[in-house]
């Protein structure tokens, strides 16, 4: 059982004041594996008060200087590495991630991000003199960090670590669907010696704890990752207090295969990229754009690749795709698959219902649609499941138009042999990250989107800058 009945406030584990809770459900079996407490406004008030006191201490004479903060982050990374298996097991149980990917794709990301941040901090300028004015970058204050269930460790770390590095105090509210890994991270920070109140953990849902945090006058900033719909609600709640809001929201990323691409390789990698994490990734390449004349070729390769995925128990090391995060998510994906069929897209493989041989659990058949047009629902809306849409384009200009033809702009992908051509197309795509020929992941690159994919950037020095504010001492002098 994964009971999460306590919150971590001011360096102590404390009981929820309201006594409200909800079930934690294993999506592979639909079994209850624990309960999580839901914070009330009283709980939020206690956490914000603790964070404000800690922020004042941190930014007073006895606060940690930068070398001390860097040393603290290194301790966190080391302990996180030691507890990777605990994190992986929690993630696999809570959201159904296959255990191998939970270890290598989820849990391992935490320490890696923190060490990159520490390297950036060694050369980061917090102050400089220009025209006799001392320009400083100072911590913004108390930050509320609201994180999602789909890549929980990654999203928690790329918010918590830079906020602490900047000198902020934080209140983390992870998804109530996957709270166990956040509990482990709180234990890690406690062991690493984070001063009381600088890090606080509350569990709760968006309408309760999320709304209370984003509207609280004692919170200076909200950093939110989740759906565009929820991001709108966070922005509205934050508006009356004019706090900074960072949003990393949905996506409908295009993957353009240029005419000179190696289709056997590019299509197969595109399918695997789309289906990673059971398709539950905001930057997934869920729209594959191919020359219209090569639609049949692309559909055949994609169908063969998708059909080879082994769907099943996430605890089995040989499983490629586990379940999606729960019954509600499963029903949502089924509705999108049915809409694709109804609107005239051609099923190349997969379709509605459970995969063959599985009678329970939130399992989705790996699905590929061909002959998708840009106006179809499955080409415009984020499905968040293992569903790929293949669209045909007439020429390069048409491909760019289709790629940029959604409300989103989080990520994009371009494949081709002529690198100059690939780069030229990539520069014209309205996306925060454009991946050229399936590159190795760069954790130092800024991550964030255009349009309804949000605002602000995360990771590396770019994520650090989000938690800092400029201050100028005019007349400071040249020395």
Catalytic residues: 248, 282
Take residue 349 and report the two structure tokens written for it.
């493989």
**CA atoms within 13 Å, Cβ hemisphere of 288:** 33
Task: Give the closest residue to 178 by CA, choosing from 13, 313, 24.
Answer: 24
Residue 388 contacts residue 54 (beta carbons within 8 Å): no
DSSP string of 418-443, one letter each residue: -HHHHHHHHHTS--SEEEESSPPP-T
Task: Give the closest residue to 281 by CA, choosing from 321, 250, 244.
Answer: 250
DSSP state, 450? S
Angstrom distance (rounded) from CA 406 to CA 337: 19
Residue 109 contacts residue 157 (beta carbons within 8 Å): yes
Q: Parallel, antiparallel, or unpaired: how do β-strands 169-173 and 199-201 relate?
A: parallel
Helix or strand run (H / E) with residue 289: strand 287-291
Residue 155 contacts residue 225 (beta carbons within 8 Å): yes
Contacts of 150 (CB under 8 A, 6+ apart): 95, 277, 280, 281, 282, 325, 384
Q: Parallel, antiparallel, or unpaired: how do β-strands 12-15 and 433-436 relate?
A: unpaired
Q: Could you identify the residue written with the tokens 């379940």? A: 323
Angstrom distance (rounded) from CA 446 to CA 232: 22
Take residue 113 and report the two structure tokens written for it.
């991000």
| CA 116 vs CA 121, 158, 256, 393, 469: distances in Å | 9, 11, 30, 39, 22
């Amino acid at each position: 059982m994964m009971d999460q009945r306590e919150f971590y406030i001011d360096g102590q584990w404390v009981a929820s004041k309201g006594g409200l809770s909800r079930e934690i459900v294993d999506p592979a079996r639909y079994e209850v594996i624990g309960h999580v407490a839901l914070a009330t406004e009283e709980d939020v008030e206690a956490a914000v008060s603790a964070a404000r006191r800690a922020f004042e201490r941190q930014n007073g004479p006895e606060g940690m200087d930068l070398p001390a903060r860097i040393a603290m982050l290194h301790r966190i990374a080391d302990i996180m590495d030691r507890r990777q298996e605990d994190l992986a097991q929690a993630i696999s149980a809570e959201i159904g991630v296959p255990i191998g990917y939970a270890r290598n794709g989820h849990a391992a990301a935490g320490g890696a991000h923190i060490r990159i941040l520490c390297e950036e901090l060694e050369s980061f300028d917090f102050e400089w003199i220009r025209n006799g004015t001392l320009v400083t970058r100072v911590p913004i204050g108390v930050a509320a960090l609201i994180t999602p269930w789909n890549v929980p460790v990654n999203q928690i770390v790329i918010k918590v670590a830079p906020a602490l590095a900047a000198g902020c105090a934080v209140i983390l509210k992870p998804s109530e669907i996957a709270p166990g890994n956040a509990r482990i991270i709180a234990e890690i920070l406690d062991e690493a010696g984070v001063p009381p109140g600088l890090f606080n953990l509350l569990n709760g849902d968006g309408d309760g704890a999320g709304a209370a945090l984003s509207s609280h006058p004692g919170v200076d900033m909200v950093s939110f990752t989740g759906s565009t719909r929820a991001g709108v609600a966070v922005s509205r709640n934050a508006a009356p207090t004019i706090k900074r809001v960072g949003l990393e929201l949905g996506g409908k990323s295009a993957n353009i295969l240029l005419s000179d691409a190696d289709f056997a390789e590019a299509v197969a990698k595109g399918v695997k990229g789309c289906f990673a994490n059971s398709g539950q990734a905001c930057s997934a390449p869920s729209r594959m754009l191919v020359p219209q004349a090569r639609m049949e070729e692309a559909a055949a390769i994609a169908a063969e690749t998708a059909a080879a995925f082994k769907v099943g128990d996430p605890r089995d090391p040989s499983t490629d795709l586990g379940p999606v995060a729960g019954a509600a998510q499963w029903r949502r994906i089924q509705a999108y698959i049915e809409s694709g069929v109804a609107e005239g897209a051609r099923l190349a493989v997969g379709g509605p219902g459970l995969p063959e041989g599985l009678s329970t659990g939130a399992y989705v058949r790996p699905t590929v649609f061909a002959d998708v047009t840009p106006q179809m629902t499955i080409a415009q809306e984020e499905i968040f499941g293992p569903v790929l849409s293949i669209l045909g384009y007439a020429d390069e200009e048409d491909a760019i138009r289709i790629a940029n033809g959604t409300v989103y702009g989080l990520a994009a992908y371009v494949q081709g042999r002529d690198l100059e051509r690939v780069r030229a197309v990539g520069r014209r795509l309205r996306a925060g990250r454009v991946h050229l020929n399936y590159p190795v992941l760069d954790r130092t690159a800024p991550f964030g989107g255009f349009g309804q994919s949000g605002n602000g950037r995360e990771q590396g020095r770019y994520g650090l800058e989000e938690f800092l504010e400029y201050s100028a001492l005019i007349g400071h002098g040249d020395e």
